[in-house]
Amino acid sequence: MYYLKTKNTYKRSLTKKKHLRKVLFISAVIFLLLFINLVSYGSKTLVMEKVIVKKGDTLWSIARNYNDRNDDLRKIVNKIKKANSLESVILQPGQEIKVPQ
């Protein structure tokens, strides 16, 4: 017995191919948008401001002065310590430190 393709089966196979192409295209666009988002998120640069330590300044007081968004001061102090490779929180007058913005 031979199987002959009728017009209906031919049309169905074409619509399946078109549907598959649409799904693949939409998936590729979504993947591309996610990839661009990840790349742009990872490339944010950190802006640093140089501060000269005055007598009586502490990491906590400097962190408080540069806390624009009301973040946790402990996190800001840790960021300052990391940015300046400080092992302790003791600062000397005249010392220049970088404060992340």
Dist CA 83 CA 69 (whole Å):
19
Using alpha carbons only, give the angle 31, 39, 79 rounded to the nearest 5 degrees: 140
Mean pLDDT of the chain: 83
What pLDDT was estimated at residue 58? 92
What pLDDT was estimated at residue 15? 77
pTM: 0.54
What is the pLDDT averaged over residues 38-53? 77
Tokens 């799904």, residue located: 23
Name the band, by pLDDT with cuts 50, 70 and 90, for residue 10. low
Is the confidence at residue 52, as pLDDT, over 90? yes
